[in-house]
Chains A and B, each alone.
Chain A
Amino acid sequence: MTSQTTSEAGYAAERETTEGRVFTVTGGDWDTITGSIDPLSNEKIVVNMGPQHPSTHGVLRLVLELEGETVTQVRPVVGYLHTGIEKNLEYRNWTQGVTFVTRMDYLSNMHNEVGYCLAVEKLLGVTDQITERTNTIRVMFMELQRIASHLVWLGTTGLELGAISMMLYGFREREYILDIFEETSGLRMNNGYIRPGGLSQDLPDTAVKKIRDFLKYMPKKLKEYENMLSGQVIWHERTQGVAVLDVTGCLALGITGPILRAAGLAWDLRKTMPYCGYETYEFDVPTAQTADVWGRYQVRVAEIRESLKIVEQALDRLRPGPIWIEDKKIAWPAQLALGVDGLGNSLEHVAKIMGQSMESLIHHFKLVTEGFRVPPGQVYVGIEQPRGELGVHAVSDGGTHPYRVHYRDPSFVNLQALPAMAEGALLADVIAGGASIDPVMGGCDR
């Protein structure tokens, strides 16, 4: 066995062995960073938090510069979960796009789907033709999704700030909502339920009953959470006056959602630029004045209550009716049914088109394989997602597939605020501040 070690500047040391060449990799340029700091006169250290860290909400990496326990610089590094969804959309037809966008922000997939479908419908010019029942179900599911997302926020933030039981409660209640989604679409997450022109299938009566049960159950539980957290001294200490960002800072950094509302500005797209008929529902936009983590907690809990109000109103006005747009050139021809093994083609429908109607079969085949054409142009649709403004910029070249779809995801934009919130504060407040942004890296990196 021969051994010869060579090491040039910047390259890993290598040596030849009987097994082949062996490289010895050490800490990259880490030595140059630590070497330039004199430990006697300077206590500055650089800490790499993430991308695999239990309290960075997924694969978020934070490069922190610390002096003692004070944070002097924060540099968020994102992109670890980039999956090229926007590019992928360009090689699928418009309807298939739903399957992709639902996987972006996996805690608010209904919002991703509705945003995309509203953009496609606006491009098609059929926004007014969406049926009453479909709009009501869309609103109801978006609000249930908002509750589920806020519950995950409460749970994970509780976990990170020391209230571990909150995590169990939050996820337990969220499971109720996921059950409702599963009952309706066949899937707990990544539902692909909302489609351009309608919904993949109608809301079953069993799901309506589950939603009614949930509406009775949830307010009691919400009271319990507040009893547990709101008066708690540790919770106050960890949240009040922490990670403050006022309205000016929010607007400059493009921050929307609960962070902006906790700073005192009641900006909610459901009220200010309504869509899906939100103007016909009665609800308030909760705000706080403290602009800190405490305010964001209060706003989110209050938003769960408002969402429950909207779900109840939607349930009351739900009337039987069609869920698909009347235009047969857009409406999905398949009749889906929930079978024992999940959502699939309705056997009755398959028997009809295969046995009785050749034209239906041709129509079905063309629409499913090729898809519908969307007139050329571009649109931007903004909707209020649990984390802020979700913007969908969709461009069509007149073909059967998107030319370009861009998602303005609130997680991506809001994460820019972390340095402004955390620099100059303690290391523990980076966790609280980061949690209060509620970033979902699937949406941030797309």
Chain B
Amino acid sequence: MSNPSESDGGVPATQPVGADFDAPAQVPPSPMKGMFGINGTGDVSGFGGLVRRRPAAADSPRPFGGYFDEVYDALEEAYPGFADAIERVVVDRGELTLHIVPARIAEVCQIMRDDESLRFELCSSVSGVDYLNSDSRRLHVVYQLTSMTYRRWVRLEAAVPADGSLPSVTSVYPTADWQERETYDMFGVIFTGHPNLTRILMPDDWEGYPQRKDYPLGGVPVEYKGAEIPPPDQRRVYQ
């Protein structure tokens, strides 16, 4: 590598090689953020920063296709409060999602389990999703129901605010016991009527709800000159 002072003459020839000329610390901060100036992407590789967007979920028009219409009609027939309980119906990627008014979730589950033309005997899974910055009802509780009689799957979804609550479905599906406890543990959703709503995976005295999107991730202190490994959402801001 040749010395630049010899070719362009802009720098005094007396500048010793290896001096702190143009050392990284003297470079003025660049107005660009990200290594390649990438903005607005959802990539977490560190080149564009962490961006979260809200998944789109539009109402689906009738007919829904497959067995979805049958399930929808059977529920409408069997459940008198149907019109007040269903917020939205979404059919996406071959799956039916019924958005339910949170206060009605236990009633809907009861009908889904007991009605002869529905027969969703098994509650496969209960979990939560935190749609931060979507609207005031950011915590969604998701129920996966399985009909062994008809071999069907359907998803119920109920949205509650961060300090919200909804009825527990443990009286209909006892299997929801631990799964609701996990959802409470991770998201802070209160299930009223649950026999023993305590933390299950985190320690009993834990503060905060780790799966929420605004839960601080925390860095790892490193015992080397006061350095710290930053939390994942703050890592690697290149200039």
Contact = CB atoms under 8 A, between A and B. Distances in A.
A391 to B, nearest CB: 5
Interface string B175-199: 1111100100000000000000001
B55 A412 contact: no
B95 interface: yes
Nearest to B94: A122
Interface in A335-387: 369-371, 373, 376-380, 382
The number of chain A residues touching the other chain, given as a range, is 35 or more
B144 interface: yes
Interface stretch (A190-198, A206-214, A322-330, A402-410): A402-410
Contacts of B227: none
Contact of B233 (A91, A373, A396, A406): A91
Contacts of A236: none
Interface string B128-148: 111000000000001010101
A255 B151 CA distance: 17
B53 A398 contact: yes
A68 interface: no
Nearest to A77: B200
B57 to A, nearest CB: 8
A55 interface: no
Interface in B79-117: 92-95, 97
Given A252-B173, A254-B122, A391-B124, A377 B44 contact: no
A400 B177 contact: no
Interface stretch (A81-89, A142-150, A154-162): A81-89
A399 B151 contact: no
Query: Which secondary structure characterizes the binding site on chain B?
Result: loop
B175 A253 contact: yes
Contacts of B62: none
A399 B217 CA distance: 20
B200 A79 contact: yes
B124 A389 contact: yes
B13 interface: no
A91 B43 CA distance: 9
Given A396-B55, A406-B125, A380 B155 contact: yes
Contacts, number: 149
A133 interface: no
A238 interface: no
A382 B124 contact: yes
Given A251-B121, A413-B175, A397 B200 contact: no
A416 B175 contact: yes
A183 to B, nearest CB: 32
A399 B45 contact: no
Interface string A412-438: 110110000000000000000000000
Contacts of B55: 376-378, 395-398, 403
Given A380-B153, A416-B177, A399 B125 contact: no
Given A87-B210, A395-B129, A369 B47 contact: yes
Contacts of A273: 151, 153
A123 interface: yes
B53 A376 contact: yes
B56 interface: yes
Interface in B25-51: 41-45, 47-48, 50-51
Interface string B196-223: 0001111100000011000001000000
B54 interface: yes
Contacts of A371: 43, 45
A379 B175 contact: no
Contact of B201 (A82, A93, A373, A408): A82
Contacts of A391: 124-125, 144
A252 B210 contact: no
A380 B125 contact: yes
A92 B45 CA distance: 8
A272 interface: yes
Contact of A401 (B42, B92, B211): B42
B52 A393 contact: no
B165 interface: no
A203 interface: no
B139 to A, nearest CB: 11
Contacts of B177: 416
A125 interface: yes
Contact of B125 (A93, A408, A415): A408
Contacts of B41: 370, 399-400
Contact of A93 (B44, B199, B211): B44
Contacts of B123: 254
Contacts of B42: 373, 397-401
A305 B70 CA distance: 39
Contacts of A377: 55-57, 92-93
A373 B45 CA distance: 13
B232 interface: yes
Contacts of A254: 122-124, 173-176
B153 A416 contact: no
Given A252-B173, A254-B122, A393 B200 contact: no
B144 A408 contact: yes
A116 interface: no
A28 to B, nearest CB: 13
A445 interface: yes
A223 B176 CA distance: 40
Contacts of B125: 380, 391, 393, 406, 408
A400 B201 contact: no
Given A379-B93, A397-B55, A404-B129, A253 B174 contact: yes
Given A397-B54, A403-B55, 13 more contacts: A79-B201, A122-B93, A255-B175, A370-B43, A382-B153, A391-B125, A397-B55, A398-B42, A399-B42, A401-B43, A412-B179, A413-B175, A416-B174
3 closest A-B pairs by CB = A399-B42, A254-B175, A408-B125
20 contacts: A82-B202, A87-B211, A91-B217, A91-B232, A252-B175, A254-B123, A272-B151, A376-B55, A378-B55, A378-B155, A380-B153, A398-B53, A403-B52, A403-B55, A404-B129, A406-B142, A408-B125, A408-B179, A412-B178, A415-B178
